[in-house]
Structure 1
Amino acid sequence: MERKLASRPSSKLKDDTPTGAKTLRADARRNRDKLVEVAAEAFASHGTAASLEDIARRAGVGVGTLYRHFPTREHLVEVVYRHEVEALCNAAEELSRERAPDQALEEWMHRFVGYIATKRGMSDSLRILFNSNSTLFADSYGKVPIALSGLIERAMADGSIRTDVDSTDVLQALSGTYSMPNSPEWHDRSRRLVRLLMDGLRWGASKTRVP
């Protein structure tokens, strides 16, 4: 049975235990990284019902290994959240190098939906962290809006989306998926929203491109 530790917020929760992380052996680091990766998928797929024991099993480690790295569910959630924010921001740079501006924007918006799915699955623990002294939200504040703004500015300069776009409006529309009813259709509905937003952004653009 999963340890009942989730209700104990800590003011000392940090991202990657900076000093300890540097001294992890290579195999311990691999285990830790795999746990974070699997946890993100589990939270996105199973929400707050995601089991830490199942996460450990899918990562190929014992549950004791999970608790050595992440003593509570909140420790794990905090690291997963930071990892997801960084991955989303890094994706903006990567997609900008590899794809046409409007296509990079559209793909990033789909990845944002995946980020929201994981965030929804961690909602209970995130509320605990929000009410604790964790620096989680202060540290990550503003990173995602900046990433989106850069993608939109590039697409507007390219002429592949209209020029009267406010990135704050786009982010607000995308963020609305967080509060949509939790149903089997959530992912499909969210993807349709991205397509509708892109249709609107491309309408009236000076450059016509087939999506």
Structure 2
Amino acid sequence: MRADAQRNYDRLVASARTAFAEQGADAPLDDIAQQAGVGNATLYRHFPTRQALLEAVFRDHIDALCRQAEDLMSAPSPGAALKEWLGAVIAQGSTERGLAASLLTALGTDGSSCRAAVFGAAQALLARAQKAGDVRTGVPVGQLFKLVNAVALVTETEPDAAEQAAALLDLIFDGLTPARTDRLAG
């Protein structure tokens, strides 16, 4: 990529990151281009869709989560590894107001490379935890993601967001453990 094109790309991503954090995933693309100091044609040349821009904004977050998931695949407790990783997903989503909703939108499209990467990482950790008996079988990764994103959404504006998110993640895991489901069935 030419140096001027790279600068435009970087400015668009930075402008979009700010806009999505302040206004959510539906921030006007025209405003993003204007804030970046480029025209709409430049924005659409780099990012033909809103989804492509969202993915560019969250690429670093997604890559970091995927690296962490890979590292956790060798953790001694598969269930604790999954829980730690889901906590990191919540923390990523709740670092700024509106980020959780924007991240959820970035992960929402089936053809999304971000979705494929994160869901693949989550599925590997989930399958390992299920095989170890730490998490009950039959839990779809998509529903698990909806739960952790819901936690990020409801806690992002709370002054004690980290504590509330941890308590809600504990509740989720109470529902995921086989012992818990056995007690409910009995």
Where on the TM-score scale, by shorter chain, does this alignment land: which range? 0.5 to 0.7
TM-score (norm 2): 0.55
Query: Is contact 2:15–2:32 with CA below 8 Å preserved after alignment?
Result: no
**Structure 1 unaligned spans of 5+:** 1-23, 124-135, 206-211
Q: Which has the higher contact order (CA 8 A, sep 6+)?
A: 1
Where does 1:102-121 land on structure 2 (aligned, <5 Å)?
A: 102=82, 103-111=84-92, 116-118=100-102
Shift of 1:113: 5.8
Correspondent of 1:171 among 129, 145, 150: 145
Q: Distance in 1 between matches of 2:174 and 2:132?
A: 16
**Structure 2 unaligned spans of 5+:** 76-80, 181-186
Shift of 1:41: 3.5
Distance 1:55 1:201, change over 3 A: farther
Q: Secondary structure at the match of 2:111?
A: helix
Query: Is contact 1:42–1:55 with CA below 8 Å preserved after alignment?
Result: no
Task: Give the match for residue 6 of structure 1.
Answer: none
Q: Secondary structure at the match of 1:94?
A: helix
Task: Give the match for residue 78 of structure 2.
Answer: none
Query: Is contact 1:95–1:104 with CA below 8 Å preserved after alignment?
Result: yes
Task: Give the match for residue 4 of structure 2.
Answer: 27
Given residue 77 of structure 1, which amino acid in structure 2 is its aligned partner? Answer: R
Q: For 1:44-89, what per-residue CA distance to the aligned partner results, in whole angstroms no more than 9, with x for missing partners?
A: 32234567546654xxx42xx24242149x8462322333575565
The answer on 1:197 being equivalent to 2:165 is no
How many residues are matched?
A: 160
Q: Secondary structure at the match of 1:139?
A: coil
Correspondent of 2:135 among 152, 162, 180: 162
Task: Give the match for residue 145 of structure 1.
Answer: 119
Shift of 1:25: 0.9
Identity of aligned residues (%): 21
Give the helix-richer structure, 1 or 2: 2
Q: Distance in 2 between matches of 1:204 and 1:92?
A: 29
Distance 1:138 1:111, change over 3 A: same
The answer on 1:81 being equivalent to 2:54 is yes
Query: Is contact 2:130–2:136 with CA below 8 Å preserved after alignment?
Result: yes
Shift of 1:36: 1.7
